[in-house]
Chains A and B, each alone.
Chain A
Amino acid sequence: TVGCVVVDKEGRCAAATSTGGLMNKMTGRIGDSPLIGAGTYACDLCGVSCTGEGEAIIRSTLARDVAAVMEYNGLNLHEAVDFVIKNRLDEGKAGLIAVSKNGEVACGFNTTGMFRGCATEDGFMEVGIW
């Protein structure tokens, strides 16, 4: 699975996710990536793209939950990402990347690693795996 989340200079957030799914999967299986609110979500507060065990991400509507705890609990982006990774996945293994309308960027995962990269306008740039 691959994904990208962006907030532009006008504060507009967007998210996109694309995948081949699971190796040796049954034909006809649909995972979390195309399900809006599960693998992908964007609103005026943030943009989120998820990857990992699709079935766990679907059950937890992981991407929408990041926006929901920001909207209803007033958490900031990093707090929201930490909260959903720690409290919404049950036994599932997953990761996500997110941006906020304020130009923040965050990622969280409970797997051994996640291929990820991020950059902000002030020059910060990071590419990581573990």
Chain B
Amino acid sequence: MGPWAIAVHGGAGVDPNLPKERQEEAKRLLTRCLDIGIVALRSNVTAIDVVELVVKELETDPLFNSGRGSALTENGTVEMEASIMDGPKRRCGAVSGLTTVKNPVSLARLVMDKSPHSFLAFSGAEEFARKQGVELVDNEYFITEDNVGMLKLAKEANSILFDYRIPTIGTCGAGATMDSPLQMNGLPISVYAPE
């Protein structure tokens, strides 16, 4: 057929002042994940299995906002979500509101392969996870010191935190100038950060 190709991301909305060592750390993780995908593609692993394999790696490393290292809710807990989609027959699976599933993307894959549905959320998704025997961990496993600190900053600023900094209204990009009446969490929608 044709050549293979792969792309990965770790989130948009990067803090322009991100320290150099954090940038290098991110690049090392992205390179490691690309290498995992490339080795799999060279071994003729199918696209759907490769995307699950790579996203599992990204979920397991605490650097980016997913799985371990996820952003925290207003209550200081973690609620995760994921989805997966296979192009040829447009099959898909998605989960939301997960608190104990170690790799959300693998549960989304099981929703696609082992359930009659496309999307399971909260207690139903957790129940399905137990029935499917996927690895479950305490919610604390997903919480990192960094994110506890960032949640504290966000609460002090009564805002929704960018991945790496508290937005002051002037730094919310185009959205900042928008005096949209739309509110979320009691804040102008424009302070919502790219995730």
What is A's interface to B at a CB cutoff of 8 Å? 1-31, 33-36, 39-47, 49, 51-55, 91-107, 109, 111-122, 125, 127, 129-130
- Assembled-state Cα–Cα distance A2/B180 (Å): 29
- Assembled-state Cα–Cα distance A23/B142 (Å): 13
Give the size of the chain B interface in residues (CB under 8 angstroms).
99
User: Does chain A have a CB within 8 A of B80?
Assistant: yes
30 A/B residue pairs, CB under 8 Å, sorted by A = A1-B9, A1-B10, A4-B50, A5-B51, A6-B37, A9-B3, A11-B2, A13-B88, A15-B84, A17-B83, A19-B82, A20-B80, A22-B192, A25-B79, A26-B74, A34-B119, A34-B121, A35-B94, A42-B86, A42-B92, A47-B51, A53-B193, A103-B2, A103-B4, A112-B173, A115-B64, A117-B30, A117-B33, A118-B7, A119-B37
- CB contacts under 8 Å to A, within B50-100, are 50-52, 54-55, 58-59, 64-67, 69-75, 77-88, 90, 92, 94-97
Does B83 lie within 8 Å of A103, measured CB to CB? Answer: no
Does B3 lie within 8 Å of A103, measured CB to CB? Answer: yes
Does A24 lie within 8 Å of B118, measured CB to CB? Answer: no
Residues in chain B near residue A11, CB distance under 8 A: 1-2
Does A93 lie within 8 Å of B55, measured CB to CB? Answer: no
Complex partner residue of A52 from B1, B12, B34, CB under 8 angstroms: B12
Q: Closest CB-CB distance, A69 to chain B, in whole Å?
A: 17
- CB contacts under 8 Å to A, within B168-195, are 173-175, 178, 180, 184-185, 189-190, 192-195
- Assembled-state Cα–Cα distance A9/B16 (Å): 37
Does A16 lie within 8 Å of B52, measured CB to CB? Answer: yes
Does A31 lie within 8 Å of B195, measured CB to CB? Answer: yes
| CB-CB under 8 A for A95 and B3, given A18-B58, A25-B71, A55-B189 | no
User: Does chain A have a CB within 8 A of B105?
Assistant: yes
- Assembled-state Cα–Cα distance A55/B87 (Å): 25
Please give me the residue from chain B that is nearest to A14 by CB atom.
B47
User: Does chain A have a CB within 8 A of B151?
Assistant: yes
Q: Closest CB-CB distance, A40 to chain B, in whole Å?
A: 4
User: Does chain A have a CB within 8 A of B134?
Assistant: no
Does A39 lie within 8 Å of B83, measured CB to CB? Answer: yes
Residues in chain A near residue B118, CB distance under 8 A: 36
Does B9 lie within 8 Å of A25, measured CB to CB? Answer: no
| CB-CB under 8 A for A116 and B7, given A12-B86, A18-B80, A23-B147 | yes
Q: Most chain-B Cβ atoms within 10 A of its Cβ — which of A30, A42, A53, A117?
A: A117
